[in-house]
């Protein structure tokens, strides 16, 4: 009975916050595609769905026809332009306010070839709805200098966590527009871990492989749930607007948990959380990741946007012509978790070129085997960062 009630409540929440739920659906879709890529089965995954969708939404504003339809379907964009823009703007405004000891900053920018003319309406939309700074650069004659400017912007916006979003020679004389997004988060735990309790311990990467890690320990009250697939723990950041959720599978069975990962299940699981005392053991984490997303997006149903043929991609809402296509989508993310809190950052670059209850025993939450990690903005439920830790 209780589960049925929770499901009804969850459905109501999703209806009231459909835009933010939709962006989370993309997060879980992308996660599943990344984990299924060749060679990814034993690797950490960490990315910012917010950063990716925001940069892609700026590109989507100029997409038309089938190009726009594919982007909207794969990225779960609301095709009601007014509603989508208003909710996107609201989210940007919510995220860009610091609370107490937490800092959350996002930024958008357009880097435009100086001889390339954006349509006035597209310029107005990018700046007005997405707070995008618009910069003129010389891709034709000095593409490497433009790369340095864009990488410097990303490094500055992420407080040095992402040092470069573009590899050397990513841009050339055919580059006309680069859309960038950066997000930076630094939060302190409401209940920090005591460094005196931190000690070396085993982490079971698999049933047969272990490694020594630095494990943090605490026994305090947390939001916690025990479910059929494992355990969920919520660690809150100062300011009460952001939290980290760790989803820990039973018996090191990460793949079984990943099969259950959907936006709807995630919302239902959060409703199961109850405040109680928990013995917590989680490792310090420090990692960085890098993705080229064009091939991944093709598997998710986006094709026209990358089609450089004459009747391929249609981004005529940007310059009034059909001579642009997306050549690169680069995404990088970094994460550090310690006794004090969490620091995380991510950046995305979209490169567009010319075509050519009852008292119970204190549960133990021992994250000594692979787990899923999610950092969310609690008011909207927006997933800012997501991934899995298989080798901290």
DSSP per-residue letters across 66-131: HHHHHHHHHHT--S-HHHHHHHHHHHHHHHT--BTTBEEEEEEEEEEETT----HHHHHHHHHHH-
- The answer to whether residues 157 and 293 belong to one domain is yes
What's the pLDDT score for residue 20?
57
User: What is the CATH number for 223?
Assistant: 2.30.39.10
What's the pLDDT score for residue 322?
93
7 domain-assigned: no
Which residues neighbour 282 within 8 Å (Cβ) at sequence distance 6 or greater?
215, 216, 246, 337, 365, 367
- The answer to whether residues 214 and 148 belong to one domain is no
Peptide bond into 202 cis (omega under 30): no
Structure tokens at 168: 């050397």
- The answer to whether residues 45 and 165 belong to one domain is yes
How many Å apart are CA 176 and CA 323, to the nearest integer? 10
Residue count (the chain):
392
Q: Residue 234 above 50 pLDDT? A: yes
Least confident of 2-16, 185-199, 299-313: 2-16
83 domain-assigned: yes
114 domain-assigned: yes
How many Å apart are CA 376 and CA 213, to the nearest integer? 26
257 domain-assigned: yes
Nearest to 56 by CA among 298, 295, 329: 329
- The answer to whether residues 179 and 227 belong to one domain is no
- The answer to whether residues 228 and 350 belong to one domain is no
pLDDT, mean over the chain: 90
How many Å apart are CA 316 and CA 295, to the nearest integer? 23
Q: Residue 62 above 90 pLDDT? A: yes
Which ranges in the chain belong to alpha helices (H)? 2-16, 18-35, 49-60, 65-75, 81-95, 120-130, 143-157, 254-258, 263-271, 294-299, 316-319
Q: What residues make up the domain containing 132? A: 14-187+287-338+345-354
Structure tokens at 199: 């000690």
- The answer to whether residues 239 and 257 belong to one domain is yes
What confidence tier does 96 reach under pLDDT thresholds 50, 70, 90? Answer: confident
Structure tokens at 363: 């549960």
Residue 329 phi/psi, 5° resolution? Answer: -135, 105
- The answer to whether residues 244 and 112 belong to one domain is no
- The answer to whether residues 143 and 255 belong to one domain is no
What confidence tier does 55 reach under pLDDT thresholds 50, 70, 90? Answer: very high
Structure tokens at 139: 């891709």
Least confident of 17-26, 173-182, 197-206: 17-26
Least confident of 127-131, 168-172, 364-368: 364-368
CB-based burial label for 253 (10 Å; 0-12, 13-18, 19+): middle
6 domain-assigned: no
How many Å apart are CA 31 and CA 259, to the nearest integer? 11
- The answer to whether residues 380 and 312 belong to one domain is no
3 domain-assigned: no
What confidence tier does 21 reach under pLDDT thresholds 50, 70, 90? Answer: low
Least confident of 74-83, 187-196, 204-213: 204-213
148 domain-assigned: yes
How many Å apart are CA 6 and CA 271, to the nearest integer? 7
- The answer to whether residues 139 and 248 belong to one domain is no
Quickly tell me which residue has 């075509």 as its tokens.
355
Tally of domains within the chain? 2
Better-predicted residue by pLDDT, 155 or 13: 155
- The answer to whether residues 269 and 327 belong to one domain is no
How many Å apart are CA 177 and CA 352, to the nearest integer? 5
- The answer to whether residues 248 and 367 belong to one domain is yes
120 domain-assigned: yes
pLDDT in tens, 98-149: 565 688 999 999 999 999 999 999 999 999 999 999 999 999 999 999 999 9
Better-predicted residue by pLDDT, 16 or 274: 274
How many Å apart are CA 124 and CA 122, to the nearest integer? 5
Q: For the residues 33-45, what does the mean pLDDT come to?
A: 84
Residue 223 phi/psi, 5° resolution? Answer: -80, 125
User: What is the CATH number for 55?
Assistant: 3.30.497.10
pLDDT in tens, 219-232: 999 999 998 889 99
How many Å apart are CA 210 and CA 40, to the nearest integer? 19
């Amino acid at each position: 009975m209780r589960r049925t009630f929770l499901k009804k409540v969850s459905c109501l929440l999703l209806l009231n916050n459909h835009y933010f739920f939709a962006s989370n659906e993309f997060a879980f879709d992308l996660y599943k595609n990344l984990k299924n890529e060749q060679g990814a089965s034993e690797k950490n995954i960490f990315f910012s769905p917010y950063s990716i969708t925001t940069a892609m939404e700026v590109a989507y504003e100029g997409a038309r026809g089938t190009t726009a339809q594919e982007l909207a379907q794969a990225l779960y964009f609301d095709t009601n332009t007014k509603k989508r823009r208003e909710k996107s703007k609201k989210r940007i405004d919510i995220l860009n306010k610091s609370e107490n000891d937490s800092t959350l900053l996002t930024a958008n920018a357009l880097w435009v070839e100086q001889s390339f003319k954006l349509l006035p309406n597209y310029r107005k939309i990018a700046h007005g709805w997405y707070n995008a700074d618009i910069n003129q650069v010389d891709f034709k004659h000095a593409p490497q200098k433009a790369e340095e400017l864009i990488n410097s912007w990303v490094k500055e916006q992420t407080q040095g966590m992402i040092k470069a979003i573009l590899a050397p020679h990513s841009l050339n004389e055919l580059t006309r527009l680069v859309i960038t997004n950066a997000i930076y988060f630094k939060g302190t735990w409401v209940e920090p871990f005591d460094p005196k309790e931190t000690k070396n311990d085993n982490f079971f990467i698999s049933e047969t492989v272990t490694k020594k890690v630095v494990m943090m320990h605490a026994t305090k009250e947390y939001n916690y749930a025990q479910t059929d697939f494992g355990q969920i723990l919520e660690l809150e950041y100062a300011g009460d607007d952001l939290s980290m959720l760790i989803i820990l599978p039973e018996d090191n069975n990460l793949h079984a948990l990943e099969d259950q990962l959907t936006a709807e299940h995630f919302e239902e699981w959060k409703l199961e959380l109850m405040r109680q005392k928990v013995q917590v053991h989680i490792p310090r984490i420090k990692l960085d990741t890098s993705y080229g997303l064009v091939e991944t997006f093709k598997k998710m149903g986006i094709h026209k946007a990358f089609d450089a043929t004459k009747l391929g991609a249609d981004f005529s809402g940007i310059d009034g012509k059909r001579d642009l296509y997306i050549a690169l989508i680069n995404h990088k993310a970094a994460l550090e978790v310690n006794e004090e809190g969490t620091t995380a950052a991510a950046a995305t670059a979209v490169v567009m070129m010319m075509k050519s209850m009852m008292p119970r025993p204190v549960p133990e939450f021992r994250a000594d085997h692979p787990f899923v990690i999610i950092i969310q903005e609690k008011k909207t439920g927006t997933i800012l960062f997501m991934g899995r830790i298989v080798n901290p």
